[in-house]
Chains A and B, each alone.
Chain A
Amino acid sequence: MSGAGIGSMSRRELLMMIGAAAGSSVAYRAMASLDMVPESDYKGPIKLEGDPKGASVLILGAGLAGLVAALELRKAGYKVQVLEYNQRVGGRNWTLRGGDSYTELGGFEQKCEFDPGLYLNPGPWRLPYHHNAILDYCKRLGVVLEPFNQVNYNAYLHSSKAFGGKPQRYRHIQADFNGGVAELLAKSTKQKKMDQLVTKEDREILLESLKGWGALENDYTYRMGLESSGRRGYDHDPNGGTIGKPVPSKPISIDEILKSGLWRYLVHGHIYEFQTTLFQPVGGMDMISKAFAREVGDAVRFNCKVTAIKQDGHKVTATYVDAKTGGAPTQVSADWCLCTIPASVLSQIDLDVSAPMHDAINALPYEASIKVGLQAKRRFWEQDESIYGGVTFTDLPNNMIGYPNTGYFGSGKGVLLGAYTFGPNAYEFTALSPQERVKKAIEFGAQIHPQYKDEIENGIAVGWHRVPWILGCAGAWTEEKRKQHYDNICRIDGRVLLAGEHVSYIPAWQEGAITSSLNAISRLHQRVVNG
Chain B
Amino acid sequence: MRGPIPNKDKLMTPISRSARLALCAGLMLGLTSQAAQAVDHSFSNGFKFQETTGEAIFQGVCQGCHMPQGQGAVGAGAYPALAGNPRLASKVYPAFMVVNGNKAMPSFGAMFDDDQVAAVANYVRSHFGNNYTDQVTPAEVKALRPKKPAASE
A interface, CB within 8 angstroms of B: 10-13, 16, 85, 103, 105-111, 113, 305-306, 323, 341, 344-345, 347-349, 362, 365-368, 395, 397, 423-425, 427-436, 438-440, 442-443, 446-447, 452-459, 463, 465-472, 476, 478-481
Contact = CB atoms under 8 A, between A and B. Distances in A.
Nearest to B112: A424
B3 A446 contact: yes
A106 B48 contact: no
B132 interface: no
Contacts of B151: 11-12, 478-481
Interface string B7-24: 100111110111100100
Contacts, number: 173
A443 B3 contact: yes
Interface stretch (B62-70, B85-93, B122-130, B136-144): B62-70
Contact of A439 (B5, B106, B153): B5
A349 B104 CA distance: 12
- Residue among B1, B7, B44, B75 having the largest count of chain A Cβ atoms under 10 Å: B75
Contacts of A435: 11-13
B2 A463 contact: no
Nearest to B12: A435
Is chain B's binding surface mostly helix, strand, loop or mixed? loop
Contact of B68 (A103, A106, A306): A106
A368 B104 CA distance: 11
Contacts of A107: 16-19
B30 interface: no
Contacts of B12: 435
B119 to A, nearest CB: 16
A485 to B, nearest CB: 13
B29 interface: no
B43 A105 contact: no
Nearest to B41: A428
Given A106-B18, A435-B13, A436-B37, A365 B76 contact: no
Given A344-B77, A478-B151, A480-B150, A431 B63 contact: yes
A184 B53 CA distance: 47
B16 A109 contact: yes
Contacts of B19: 106-108
Given A108-B16, A453-B3, A323 B37 contact: no
Contacts of A433: 37-38
